[in-house]
A = this chain, B = another copy of it.
């Protein structure tokens, strides 16, 4: 943040050793519940079970708090891992016996990618390997039916870092406003706290399956302006996290029009674009929606749309890959001033480059085996297998929630999460107040302590005052934990009746 235009600040500062009061207060004030008290408690319980099996009312801790599929035994896609093994140890490419363990598709891809970088141990150019950005551009063109340019694409070490970089560039002032959905994945609010900018929350509409209402966005924008905040960007997460809802094309059009009119940077978090579980919805990228809309309008409206600034994010951590630990992702920028793009390049170059193997995973994601490739059948079988399991579990968990007293839950559309509302008894709310925690945090902590199931309270994402939720992934194998949650819920309701 620049101090330009700022009057001199009160001095002296506290010069003692670092403590909670003299360090960056933006860090101190940041909230990040996904890996907060519940996650730490879950680790303690796991250690306790290891040291002293049988000492708890459950025999394992189930992490439903993080979208971390491979921690929960989801198998990685074989094609990707073969490419990475060969990339890490290219001597295998000269070893006939060893090569029998690899598909020809993986061998060719590994050779091709190694040719681009010399070694995965070398820094690449900071924006990412050009050939991989070309793969990404081709993928976007196939997905959207509209052209994409490799110069608009930056590879990243996961979507989170890309989002942080873009926010860092936009946030110029404590009054810079960034519109974020509520509930939201807390990366956004935590990063804005660190950057000392102003979040401008807009509520998603639970009554319409967590829909994004353009009217609500316009209203909150106006309120922020009245408060002296200057909104500069609008974050939309589609499919939603934690809600799992998928935007309709009409709503996307309205959102695009609004962002264009107001000169907002539209930040489209589309990391769950492959995680769609029902035929009744379809993922459309904001890039495609923009280009489609542009083809429908003319005159002043077309001019306004031509000026839209759009940054969309994707990741290898989600989808059917679930390669979280590999840290790969990308963003595509449309309509950003080239001088600003240079600044973004400089910022990412200070961190040298995104992990090169993560860039390779991006290549495999956007350019998977094709019919005729020897890796194709296995790839499709593995991919569809994971997708079907996710859908089945989502439906089973949803059915269990629907049967629980005082619980309602939108049907699963996309992403990796369900976000049920829970009606909590007054006594539970009082108990939480006594403990100084949010009522749904109390609920989630008791759930964890009774069943070993770790979820994230709705208060960690934001929610309308007086409503309570929790977010659970549907990644854990089996569906029996749905019953454990139901049993706990019954006992909890009885306890605080």
A355 & B358 in contact (Cβ 8 Å cutoff):
yes
Contacts of A51 in B (CB 8 A): none
Give the complex CA separation of A336 and B161 in angstroms: 26
Tell me whether B350 and A326 are in contact (CB under 8 A): no
| Contact of A85 with B89 in the complex, beta carbons under 8 Å | yes
The stretch from A15-23, A288-296, A479-487 touching chain B is A15-23
How far, in angstroms, from A321 to B176 measured CA to CA in the complex? Answer: 43
One of A205-213, A341-349, A415-423 contacting the partner:
A341-349
- How does the 8 Å CB contact mask read for A92-108 relative to B, with 1 for contact and 0 for none? 10010110110000000
- Check A473 for interface membership: any CB of B closer than 8 A: no
**Do residues A88 and B85 form an inter-chain contact, with CB atoms below 8 A?**
yes
- Determine whether A201 belongs to the interface, using a CB cutoff of 8 Å to chain B: no
Q: Does A68 contact B (CB under 8 A)?
A: yes
A contact face: mostly helix, strand, loop, or mixed:
loop
> Which of A26-34, A238-246, A405-413 has 4 or more CB atoms under 8 Å from chain B?
A26-34
> In the docked arrangement, what's the CA distance between A34 and B349, Å?
9
Chain B proximity of A433: nearest CB distance (Å): 24
**Residues 1-56 (chain A) with a chain B CB within 8 angstroms:** 1-13, 15-20, 22-30, 32, 34-36, 43
A353 adjacent to chain B (CB < 8 Å): yes
Cα A118 to Cα B72 in complex, Å, equals 9
Counted per complex, copies of this chain come to 2
Contacts of A428 in B (CB 8 A): none
How far is B355's CA from A317's CA once the two chains are assembled, in angstroms? 12
Nearest B-chain residue to A165, judged by Cβ: B27
What are the residues of chain B within 8 A of A12 when measuring CB–CB?
A: 230
Residues B119 and A71 in contact, CB atoms below 8 Å apart? yes
Which of A20, A32, A172, A174 is the most central at the interface, judged by chain B CB atoms within 10 Å of its CB?
A: A172
A168 touches B194 (CB 8 A): yes
Partner of A91, one of B30, B97, B101: B101
User: Contact at A169–B324, with CB atoms within 8 Å?
Assistant: no
> Which residues of B have CB within 8 Å of A70?
118-119, 121-122
A427 CB, min distance to chain B CBs, angstroms: 32
Contact with B along A300-331 (1 / 0, CB 8 A): 00000001010000000100011111110000
Among residues of B, the one whose C-beta sits closest to the C-beta of A187 is B350
**Minimum distance in angstroms from A24 CB to a CB of chain B:** 5
CB of A170 within 8 A of CB of B24, answer: yes
- Interface-side segment among A75-83, A145-153, A366-374, A435-443: A75-83
A73 at the interface (CB under 8 A from B): yes
Extra 19 A-B pairs, beta carbons < 8 Å, given A18-B232, A70-B121: A1-B195, A2-B24, A2-B196, A15-B263, A18-B337, A22-B172, A23-B343, A25-B172, A27-B346, A35-B346, A35-B349, A69-B121, A92-B101, A121-B325, A121-B326, A157-B157, A157-B355, A161-B351, A357-B357
Query: What are 21 A-B pairs with beta-carbon distances under 8 A?
Result: A1-B195, A2-B26, A6-B9, A15-B230, A16-B263, A17-B335, A18-B232, A18-B337, A20-B337, A22-B172, A23-B343, A24-B171, A30-B347, A70-B121, A70-B122, A84-B89, A85-B88, A120-B325, A122-B324, A194-B350, A324-B352
Closest 7 A/B residue pairs (Cβ): A2-B25, A325-B356, A85-B89, A71-B122, A70-B122, A35-B349, A70-B119
